Amino acid sequence: MHIIPTIIEGAFILEPKVWGDERGYFFESFSTKYLEPLGTTYNFVQDNEAMSKFGVIRGLHYQLPPFAQTKLVRVVKGEVLDVIVDIRKGSPTYGRSLSVRLNEVNKRQFLVPKGMAHGYAVLSSEAIFAYKCDDFYHPEHEGGLNIHDPQLQIDWIIPRENQIISSKDLLLPNLGQHLPFE
């Protein structure tokens, strides 16, 4: 597994070693031994999977303390633009976003640390998105940011007229209306 640091502390891109031949391919999608060199151990307790069609944008979501979540995300089928925004109080990259393309071909994974608002846009006709969480979902502790906040300057790639966004996500506040993640 090749681990690539990003501009945001604690966020890493993971590129697995894929063995392929005429039969197909094999790779380890998860092993704790790959994350140990990062100096932190994660106890992933929940796996989630979502299927969405082209144009769907989910996010930008997070869980508030004490139920904040680290996520390890990947795409099983299709392609997404995966996006995080650093919302950690005092972070040198507070308010900065980072986008990574994840797809069934590159098999990249994205380790999203606590204190990030997270979302993704489906770029293929359909995508199956899978992720691990190191804490359970608590609806009473969820938060989010507006995906169209001009301060974030996120290029979702999908033209606005083709974006499919839940009514709930459209009501999320901008970064300036949000209290930093403690």
Annotated active-site positions, please? 61, 131
State how far the Cα of 8 lies from the Cα of 16, in Å rounded to an integer: 21
For residue 11, which of 138, 96, 106, 75 has the smallest C-alpha distance?
96
Residue 72 in tokens: 């390890």
Strand 79-86 to 97-103 pairing: antiparallel
State how far the Cα of 169 lies from the Cα of 36, in Å rounded to an integer: 35
Please enumerate in sequence order all residues whose Cβ is within 8 A of that of 37, keeping only pairs 6 or more positions apart, or say none: 3
Report which DSSP code applies to 173: P
For residue 54, which of 5, 122, 7 has the smallest C-alpha distance?
122
State how far the Cα of 47 lies from the Cα of 25, in Å rounded to an integer: 23
Residue 107 in tokens: 């098999």
* Residue position matching structure tokens 């604690």: 10
